[in-house]
Amino acid sequence: MDRLPEFAGHHPWLVAAAALIALVVLAYEARLRIQGAATISPQELIGLMNQGALVLDLRPASEYAAGHINGAKPLSSDQLPRAADTFKRHKEKPVVLYCDGGSQASAAARQLSAQGFTRVFSLRGGLSAWRAENLPLAKA
């Protein structure tokens, strides 16, 4: 440990690169934590569905009717601010949101967390990831 300052003096570029890499890793981890809601894979969603999770589809009604995850309930963007009242008995249970690609669901998950839901998740990759794994869709 006594020789660390000596090493740093002889190899400043190497020490600077190591410090930069450490900062990048820390920034990446911080960004993931700030994003709020956790994301889950389609396989993890199946496990939560077996435990009685509430699954909410954020896509437009026409897309929902064309094919959705079995048991999912539609939730439009104008219903989202009142979700705490609509789904109040699910505040302590797992709630999973999904859209086509996953970005809208992440933002909605943060809103539900702010409304007091304690176990909110978004489907990583959205319905596209569900389809990519050849999992079944229900039609209304």
Integer Cα distance of 32 and 24 in angstroms: 12
67 contacts 139 by C-beta, under 8 angstroms: yes
Q: Annotated catalytic residue: which of 99, 109, 120, 127?
A: 99
Integer Cα distance of 101 and 123 in angstroms: 9
What's the whole-model pTM score? Answer: 0.72
Residue 53 gets the label, from left (phi > 0), alpha (psi -120 to 50) or beta, of beta
Residue 29 in any domain: the answer is: yes
68 contacts 138 by C-beta, under 8 angstroms: yes
Do 103 and 42 share a structural domain? yes
pLDDT exceeds cutoff 80 at 32: no
Instruction: Assess whether 117 carries a catalytic annotation.
Output: no
Integer Cα distance of 41 and 60 in angstroms: 22
For 98, the domain range is 38-132
Q: Name which of 36, 72, 68, 43 is nearest 55 in CA terms.
A: 72
Residue 75 in any domain: the answer is: yes
Q: What are the tens digits of pLDDT across the range 40-60?
A: 999 999 999 999 999 999 999
Do 118 and 59 share a structural domain? yes
pLDDT exceeds cutoff 70 at 35: no
